A = this chain, B = another copy of it.
Amino acid sequence: MPLEIPEVVINRLPVYARALSELEARGESVVSSQALGELLDVTPAQIRKDLSYFGRFGKQGRGYNVPGLLTKLREILGIDRQWRVCLVGVGRLGQAIAEYGGFGPQGFVVVAAFDASGAVVGTRLGDVVVRHADSLDEFLKANRVDIGIVAVPANEAQRVVDRLVASGIHAILNYAPIMAHVPRDVVIRHIDPVLAMQSMTFYISRHVPPGE
């Protein structure tokens, strides 16, 4: 696997994987880059080029074997295993995240939740009991946790991120409305609906679609 795969490519692979899951569920056994591209609004050349970073998965004249390519993509992305996740911040947002059923089936298991407020500490949330935020570092030292989800208010988010990083976490999903800083060996993704809305209003203010 040649080093230096563009990050944009990595970000598209999960999209391909999801589409392949659907095709597999529908019983499709082969798909061409053309057909997959139509499904996803991506050019066939882009799909082929993206996949070519990792190997040669297709067959000329036929296309890609659906379950085969899906298995490959899952391996490449590392979504062929279980990942242990902790949630920090159990306000309304944190509760919604914990109760959201979308992570579990994809192999992301919430193994602990933390909050600083006595009101929620000790309550049950999904499969876990909410712990006090003071015990975060200790817990992370004693237990394997791969990914941290941050759902605390904006003014606490950077501090929480720093603590997660200091405890050895290398991947963070941040729901707080700040662009948190992390060292270069930590991946962070931001979920920020307000920013998404604010970039759309640019276009509807003028009624000019993006990209023209």
Contacts and interface: CB of A to CB of B under 8 A. Distances in A.
A60 interface: no
Interface in A33-56: 40-41
Contact of A92 (B79, B99, B147, B212): B99
A143 interface: no
Oligomeric state, in copies: 2
A24 B42 CA distance: 41
Contacts of A10: 199, 202-203, 210
A122 to B, nearest CB: 22
A211 B11 CA distance: 12
A120 interface: no
Contacts of A77: 198-199, 201-202, 205
A83 B201 contact: yes
Contact of A78 (B79, B93, B96, B205): B205
Given A79-B201, A199-B77, A210-B187, A92 B100 contact: yes
A62 interface: no
Interface string A138-171: 0000000011000000000000000000000011
A184 interface: yes
A203 B15 contact: no
A41 B202 contact: no
Which 9 interchain pairs have the tightest Cβ spacing? A78-B205, A96-B96, A14-B198, A189-B196, A78-B201, A171-B200, A185-B209, A187-B200, A14-B195
Interface of A: 3-4, 7, 10-11, 13-15, 17-19, 40-41, 76-79, 83, 92-93, 96-97, 99-100, 102-103, 106, 108, 146-147, 170-171, 173, 177, 179, 181, 184-187, 189, 191, 193-212
7 contacts: A11-B199, A15-B179, A77-B198, A170-B204, A173-B193, A184-B209, A191-B193
